[in-house]
Amino acid sequence: MGTGRVIRFCFQVNEKEPRSLHQLRDGNAFGEFYPVLNNAGFTYGGIIVNQSSSDQPARQSQRGMPGTDDLVVMCTRPPLDDKWQDGRPKMCLSGSLLEEKVLAGLRCCFEVCSRSHVVLSENLAAMLREGYENRADIQFYCNKYATYLRCSRYHHSRKDRFKTPRTACYLMILPPHDKEHGCVSMFSISGNYTLCFAYLLRTKLWRQLACDLSKPRFVMVELQPIPQPSNPLTLNFVDEWEYDVVLDTNDDPSYQPMTALPPPARRNARR
């Protein structure tokens, strides 16, 4: 059981224009996801807004920052490659030390991660379940549905398409370790599917996977998001969706997970 706090690390809705503090991404997804963290012994510890600034480095007070027993939770697609990809909408980076640290940990899992394109790291791509090897490299439609446009094996030229709409969801757990706070990242490509993934985790997937916040883990889930009602009043329609766990590092005893967030890259270093 955890003894620390859950700190929600959140991004602004649109960082090209000044926004009010309440206009933050994926708050509903966090609300759906938080109960599983609370059931594991973690208490809510507030938010840290990843404010961006174009004219000066982000300044952060140590007050309210994550402690050594805390979990930084991000329920938004990490903007690892928004500067280099054509995915939209783009999210700006703040340059804060916390942001650099969290994204450095996620970079170990993704070779590319933007709104339109996700490529797993080579070691994770090699762990995809048989029959799902071509989910290593996925290009997504840039519309509200954010389903697969085409898929391929890791660094493979052949591109596959699907008649049935599908999309991907990702979960990374990195527990507090050696006086370092932990990190949990859960997301899909669109905000709608991130919310639906959070609902599935709360209602069934977390128990099905027997998730343990004291152990590092990476999971990829494929959804078939049918049906999609136009104006639902609840998320109960998600119960009818089919899904498959296509990658789970717990299934490979040879996998050597990262045990702590890596130090952030040197500032001003080029990608």
**Residue 70 burial (C-beta neighbours within 10 Å; 0-12, 13-18, 19+):** buried
- Overall average pLDDT of the 1-23 stretch: 74
Res. 268 pLDDT band, cuts 50 70 90: very low
Within a domain: 258: no
C-alpha to C-alpha distance for 143 and 44, rounded to whole angstroms: 33
Q: Is the pLDDT of residue 195 over 60?
A: yes
Within a domain: 105: yes
Find the domain containing 132 and state its range.
5-251
- Overall average pLDDT of the 148-173 stretch: 93
Higher pLDDT, 17 or 229: 229
- Overall average pLDDT of the 74-85 stretch: 82
At 139 the pLDDT is 94
Query: 48 near 9, Cβ under 8 Å?
Result: yes
Within a domain: 85: yes
Residue with tokens 């590319």: 112
Tokens of 67: 């402690």
Query: 9 near 32, Cβ under 8 Å?
Result: no
Number of domains in the chain: 1
Within a domain: 271: no
At 256 the pLDDT is 72
Query: Could you report the per-residue pLDDT of 87-102, keeping only the tens digit for each?
Result: 455 677 788 888 888 9
Within a domain: 264: no
Within a domain: 33: yes
Mean pLDDT value across the chain: 85
Closest CA to 211 of 250, 176, 181: 250
Peptide bond into 263 cis (omega under 30): no
Res. 20 pLDDT band, cuts 50 70 90: low
Closest CA to 218 of 170, 261, 253: 170
Within a domain: 270: no
Query: 141 near 117, Cβ under 8 Å?
Result: no
- Overall average pLDDT of the 142-147 stretch: 84
Within a domain: 191: yes
Q: Is the pLDDT of residue 58 over 50?
A: no
At 112 the pLDDT is 94
pTM of the predicted structure, to 2 decimals: 0.88
Q: How many helices (H) and strands (E) does the chain have?
A: 5, 11
Q: Is the pLDDT of residue 266 over 70?
A: no
Helix H, strand E, coil C: the string for 57-121 is CCCCCCCCCCCCCCEEEECCCCCCCCCCCCCCCCCCCCCCHHHHHHHHHHHCCEEEECCCEEEEC
Across 115-124, 154-163, 200-209, 261-270, least confident range? 261-270
C-alpha to C-alpha distance for 94 and 92, rounded to whole angstroms: 7
Cα end-to-end span (Å), the chain: 38
What residues have CB less than 8 Å from 114, skipping those under 6 apart? 79, 80, 81, 82, 84, 85, 86, 87
Tokens of 189: 């490509």
For 18, phi and psi rounded to 5 degrees? -60, 135
Would you say the C-alpha torsion 153, 154, 156, 162 has a positive or negative sign? positive
